[in-house]
Amino acid sequence: MTATIARLATRPIRIPLRRPWGPDVPDLSVVEVVVEDSDGARGFGFSWTPTIGAAAVQAHLDRDIADFAIGREAEASALWEPLWTHLHEGGGGGITTIAMAGLDLALWDLAGRRAGLPLTELIGRRHETATVYGSGVNLHYPLDELVAQAERLVAAGFDAVKVKVGSSDLSRDLERIAAVREAIGPDRRLMIDANQRWALGQAERAIGELAAFDLAWIEEPLRADDLAGHVELRRRLEVPVALGENLYTHYRFAEFIDGGAVDVVQPNAVRVGGITPFLRIAELAADRGVELAPHLLLELSAQLALALPGRHLVESVEDASFEALGALAEPAPVTIVGATVSTIGRPGLGIRFSGEQSDGAPSARPTEEP
């Protein structure tokens, strides 16, 4: 008899950042999700949102998602599409898919634990290692701190580095990127990320001048949902365009890819709704010949990259992995040596959060609750 979902419990967690991402981003918010099936087996997943929406995500999980999921087959790929269809009236992405990811990840973890397989093997391992690039959330850093960070990333062994741009004064960006290029040398890849700060004309001018520093890509130059603007900008540019951390469904990824708006797609495995839709987006990118670089969430993204065809860069933000932040109850499921990441072979996702950062007791929806 196929096991069904018997219980879903959530726990909110705040994780202080060692290096704040700005005055308004001193910590990260995680909603831990525990799913228990009718055989008593458990899986552990999570939803993630840096600043906005964690309480709404948890409420969505505790009510709408639990109401729909309890009693249904405890299998991620079978549940995802009907759950998304059911929730779509409240919004096709954003809070909806971020909340869905918590259950989807927990079900993948449950499947891995049942099979005794790590996530990469459960999906189907294709690589033993992946390449990691060093990243920083650093637009607010003074120039000397930015250069020091770039030098630390080089010393750590990274062959590619990403920094933030989008200052109100373009001359500041030019000074900073020139200093970073000097710090990392001419042979390492240099990526820049504008975090949606520019309008079309600003982006064309800024990238046109910043291109002198041999850029590997420009990330999120425009508002994430501006498809027409990205199509036009990419038509005007020679620098590759990367985006996707703020796209939420495979439909939107297909629109941006097929519209000719992007060279590198960057799905965030939580924001898109979990591993199930992430794999669908990866298949779409592979079919269209577009590069894919998973966004953030190192401990999860690296495991996914090792199961995908082709080679994919994995992002490592300085001092911001769950392990580096001291948020995990056990060693991380991946390990980095220089610019190379590999897995350690723990069944399931291998991501369990400690109880020290919890800001509230778990809530639960048992089988008998209406």
Backbone φ and ψ of 160, nearest 5°: -145, 140
User: DSSP letters along 34-87, please?
Assistant: EEEETTS-EEEEEEEESSS-HHHHHHHIIIIIHHHHTTSBS-HHHHHHHHHHHH
Chain segment 135-167, per-residue pLDDT in tens:
999 999 999 999 999 999 999 999 999 999 999
Chain segment 188-209, per-residue pLDDT in tens:
999 999 999 999 999 999 999 9
Q: Using the predicted structure, report yes or no on whether residue 365 has a pLDDT greater than 60.
A: no
Quick one: tokens of 369? 């609750």
Distance CA 317, CA 48 (A): 15
**Catalytically annotated residue among 164, 230, 250, 312:** 164
Distance CA 27, CA 366 (A): 31
Predicted pLDDT of residue 362:
40
Predicted pLDDT of residue 286:
96
Chain segment 82-92, per-residue pLDDT in tens:
999 999 999 99
**Catalytically annotated residue among 60, 250, 295, 312:** 295
Chain segment 98-114, per-residue pLDDT in tens:
999 999 999 999 999 99
Is 46 exposed, middle or buried, given 0-12, 13-18 or 19+ CB atoms closer than 10 A?
buried
**What average pLDDT does this structure show over 34-63?**
95
Distance CA 190, CA 61 (A): 39
For residue 295, indicate whether it is catalytic. Answer: yes
Please say whether the beta carbons of 161 and 147 come within 8 A: no
Chain segment 292-338, per-residue pLDDT in tens:
999 999 999 999 999 999 999 999 999 999 999 999 999 999 999 99
Backbone φ and ψ of 187, nearest 5°: -100, -10
Distance CA 180, CA 184 (A): 6
For residue 164, indicate whether it is catalytic. Answer: yes
Predicted pLDDT of residue 322:
96
Backbone φ and ψ of 17, nearest 5°: -85, 140
Quick one: tokens of 17? 């950042």
Domains along the chain with CATH numbers: 5-116+355-365 (3.30.390.10), 121-343 (3.20.20.120)
Distance CA 366, CA 370 (A): 9
Cβ contacts of 307 within 8 Å, gap of 6 or more: 119, 120, 123, 124, 125, 126
- The C-alpha R_g of the chain, in whole angstroms, comes to 20
Quick one: tokens of 178? 């020139």
Residue 165's alpha-carbon distances to 25, 175, 181, in angstroms, are 17, 11, 13
Predicted pLDDT of residue 1:
72
**β 27-37/42-49 pair status:** antiparallel
What average pLDDT does the chain have? 94
Residue 154's alpha-carbon distances to 167, 218, 297, in angstroms, are 24, 20, 21
Quick one: tokens of 206? 């800024």
Q: Using the predicted structure, report yes or no on whether residue 341 has a pLDDT greater than 80.
A: yes
First to last CA, the chain: 24
